[in-house]
Structures are given as structure tokens and as C-alpha cells.
A and B are shown apart, each in its own frame.
Chain A
Amino acid sequence: GENVEQHPSTLSVQEGDSAVIKCTYSDSASNYFPWYKQELGKGPQLIIDIRSNVGEKKDQRIAVTLNKTAKHFSLHITETQPEDSAVYFCAASKADKLIFGTGTRLQVFP
């Protein structure tokens, strides 16, 4: 079945620096790749997504890139702020269900 690997598991950055989280998926038929942010005591919040017919998508300080050939996709956060501290999950889907990565705990230090 589909498998999604996510790295790193923890990431610490200084406020204002950039953060990059990478995911690899196994099923080449996957065509939808969302990213979720989960804060303590809350459910995952959809922050950005990309479909397989697009290589890059940007929304203010966050961007996602997709390399279908290599089956890689990445989340880029620029100008990080303390409120970006959370656990981030990537996921892959063939339109039936979401298969999640194992999560990255991002800590942004002031």
C-alpha cells in the first residue's frame, strides 16, 4: 500500500529563518498532497495543498513543491515566527483517503 516518509522528525530554527520539511511517497498514482499543521490540543489544520498537475504553489510565507518523477514533495516556510511552532504533517492521496507522514515537530525560537 501507499507509504509516506517524512523528514526531519524535529526541526529547530531561529525566528526569521526558513524551514523545510520533506516527504516521499511510494504510490505513483497519488495525485493530491496536502500539508497540515497541528497545535497542541487541536485537530490538524489544512495549511496548503498541491495537486499532481502543478509543480509549485505559494501562499504568503508558505510554499509547497512537488517532484512527481522523484515522488518527493516539500513544505517551505519563510520568515518563521514563534506561532509557526507546531507539528506538521504531509499526506498523499489518490482521492480516496489520506495517507499521512509521521510528522515534524517545528520549534521556532525567538
Chain B
Amino acid sequence: KAGVTQTPRYLIKTRGQQVTLSCSPISGHRSVSWYQQTPGQGLQFLFEYFSETQRNKGNFPGRFSGRQFSNSRSEMNVSTLELGDSALYLCASTSGSTSYEQYFGPGTRLTVT
């Protein structure tokens, strides 16, 4: 079974621009969570989607948004990019409706200049 895939793997953007990241979960998994990983803040929860509905949201500004499609694929969007948004963005999927047994993708490395 293929793992979680994320595209693109690397991205360079300029302050003020917006960006969309994509995540394809493991086949059959219906829940997708997004995390931001930085050296200073570690791994922080952004939001979680299940059956196209956002069920949980972390403490990030409204510039961070996401959505999930009927095939469980998910996208996250960051608008008006700031230098501090430079990070590794990780997507994780799980088969159930809880956060148990989350499997992570390789991440998208976003650099904002």
C-alpha cells in the first residue's frame, strides 16, 4: 500500500504571496491532519479533516486554511506569506475517526524569502 504523498516537496515563495500544498492520504484513510515543523516551535498541529469537514483546529492565524475533497485528498493554503511561515509542513493520515495511528508523509519544505 502506498504511503502518504505530499506535493510539492520543496517550494520557495516571496513574502506576501500565497501557497497551496497538497496531500494524498494512504488509500482507505479518511482523516488527514496537517502539522508545521520548525526548529524553534517543533511540531505543531494546524488542523484536521475527516469526511471533508474540519473537525479540529490549532492555534494558527486565519491565513492558514485547508480543505478536504471527497476522495480524502487534502490541501492547505497559506495566504500573505511571512518569513516566519518558513517550515516543513507535514500531512498525516489515519484510517479511523481519531488521531490514533497517524502516518506521516515526507513533508513540503516551504521557504519564504
Q: Which residues of A contact B (CB under 8 A)?
A: 32, 34, 36, 41-46, 49, 51, 89, 91, 93, 95-103
Taken together as a complex, chains A and B put the C-alpha atoms of A101 and B44 apart, in Å, by 10
Where chain A touches its partner, the secondary structure class is strand
What residue of chain B has the Cβ atom nearest to residue A100's Cβ? B43
Taken together as a complex, chains A and B put the C-alpha atoms of A103 and B38 apart, in Å, by 12
B16 within 8 A of A: no
Most chain A beta carbons < 10 A, residue from B48, B56, B100: B100
Q: Which residues of B contact A (CB under 8 A)?
A: 4, 33, 35, 42-45, 48, 55-56, 58, 90, 92, 98-107
Partner of B102, one of A41, A46, A102: A46
When distances are taken between beta carbons in the complex, the residues of chain A under 8 Å from B42 are 100-103
Q: Could you give 11 example pairs across A and B, Cβ below 8 Å? A: A42-B106, A43-B104, A44-B104, A46-B101, A96-B55, A97-B56, A97-B58, A97-B99, A98-B102, A100-B43, A102-B42
Taken together as a complex, chains A and B put the C-alpha atoms of A93 and B56 apart, in Å, by 13
Where chain B touches its partner, the secondary structure class is strand
B48 touches A96 (CB 8 A): yes
Partner of A43, one of B33, B48, B90: B90
Q: A49-B100, A98-B35 are in contact. List 11 more A-B contacts (CB 8 A).
A: A32-B98, A34-B101, A42-B106, A43-B107, A46-B103, A91-B43, A93-B99, A96-B48, A96-B98, A98-B33, A100-B42
When distances are taken between beta carbons in the complex, the residues of chain A under 8 Å from B35 are 98, 100
A6 → chain B closest CB, angstroms: 9
When distances are taken between beta carbons in the complex, the residues of chain B under 8 Å from A99 are 45
Taken together as a complex, chains A and B put the C-alpha atoms of A46 and B102 apart, in Å, by 7
A32 touches B99 (CB 8 A): yes
B99 touches A43 (CB 8 A): no
B45 touches A49 (CB 8 A): no
Known contacts: A43-B90, A89-B43. The answer to whether A95 contacts B101 by CB under 8 A is no
